[in-house]
């Protein structure tokens, strides 16, 4: 008498992890160690990364600075959007993530340091202005004074019409535009990201103009 089919042992499937799966697992492990420092449970999805990259694909000449690159999902999207590698400078504070970025993007300029010292970090490279700053920093969870200093460093590099691109999981702007003299708008909402995210575009406010607040 044979055993019923349901009782027979079934062969286990071998699950192969691709590089993105491995990066997500590493990112999650780092978040478990320090949730306030990492700021997100998983890296930005390709949908969010592409939405951010679209905002700087046509900003013109000059350096594009990426802050808080993490495992490189936005970095990859910026390159895929056609940003020349010589125009992209990546800044990452975490030593382990910095090593990972250097390994994955050996052709890029990747600087290890704190965004609070952005101008000092970029000065040895001869960079004193930028065409755009793309930020994945968890601004909402950063202390107010630290956040203000980071934004001051960013806009010291950005002239009129040159944007700071920042995403957030929150329902409102992560930056106090009125206090800092900025304009801002939601450039994209990315429902396919987990959790859903909004991409904000900020610029210096032109003299004599007031912003119509939307959020």
CATH code of the domain covering residue 181: 3.40.50.150
pLDDT digits (tens, 9 = 90+) for 71-107: 999 999 999 999 999 999 999 999 999 999 999 999 9
d(CA 103, CA 97): 10
Residue 46 has pLDDT above 70, yes or no: yes
- The predicted-structure confidence for 109-158, as pLDDT tens digits, reads as follows 999 999 999 999 999 999 999 999 999 999 998 999 999 999 999 999 99
Any domain includes 56 = yes
Give SS3 for 200. Answer: strand
Please check the confidence at residue 12 and state whether its pLDDT lies above 70: no
Asked if the structure places residue 57 within a domain, the reply is yes
Q: What is the mean predicted confidence (pLDDT) over 37-50?
A: 69
Residue 60's pLDDT band, with cuts at 50, 70 and 90, is: confident
Q: Does 147 map to a domain?
A: yes
**Is position 38 within any domain?**
no
pLDDT: which is higher, 195 or 186: 186
The whole-number pLDDT of residue 194 equals 83
CB-CB contact of 116 with 146 (8 Å): yes
Domain span including residue 58: 45-204
Q: Burial of 124 by CB count in 10 Å (0-12 exposed, 13-18 middle, 19+ buried)?
A: exposed
| Domain count for the chain | 1
**H or E element at residue 23:** helix 19-33
Closest CA to 18 of 41, 46, 47: 46
**Do the domain assignments include residue 81?**
yes
pLDDT class of 45 with cuts at 50, 70, 90: confident
Predicted pLDDT at 206: 80
Are 38 and 67 a contacting pair, CB within 8 Å? no
pLDDT at 184: 97
Mean pLDDT, the chain, rounded, equals 85
Report if residue 33 sits inside a domain.
Answer: no
């Amino acid at each position: 008498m044979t055993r019923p089919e349901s009782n027979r042992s079934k062969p286990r499937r071998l699950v192969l992890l691709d590089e993105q799966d491995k990066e997500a697992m590493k990112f999650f492990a780092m978040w478990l160690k320090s949730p306030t420092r990492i700021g997100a449970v998983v890296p930005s999805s390709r949908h969010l990364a592409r939405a951010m990259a679209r905002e700087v694909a046509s900003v013109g000449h000059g350096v594009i600075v990426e802050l808080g690159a993490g495992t490189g999902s936005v970095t990859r999207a910026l390159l895929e959007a056609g940003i020349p590698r010589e125009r992209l400078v990546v800044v990452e504070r975490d030593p382990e993530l910095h090593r990972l970025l250097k390994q994955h993007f050996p052709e890029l300029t990747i600087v290890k340091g704190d965004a609070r010292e952005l101008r000092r970090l970029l000065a040895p490279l001869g960079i004193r202005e930028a065409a755009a700053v793309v930020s994945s920093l968890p601004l909402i969870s950063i202390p107010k004074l630290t956040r203000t200093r980071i934004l001051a460093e960013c806009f010291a590099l950005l002239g009129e019409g040159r944007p700071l691109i920042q995403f957030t999981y929150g329902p409102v702007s992560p930056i106090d535009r009125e206090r800092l003299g900025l304009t801002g708008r939601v450039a994209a909402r990315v429902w396919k990201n987990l959790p859903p995210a909004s991409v904000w575009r900020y610029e210096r406010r032109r003299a004599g103009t007031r912003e119509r607040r939307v959020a």
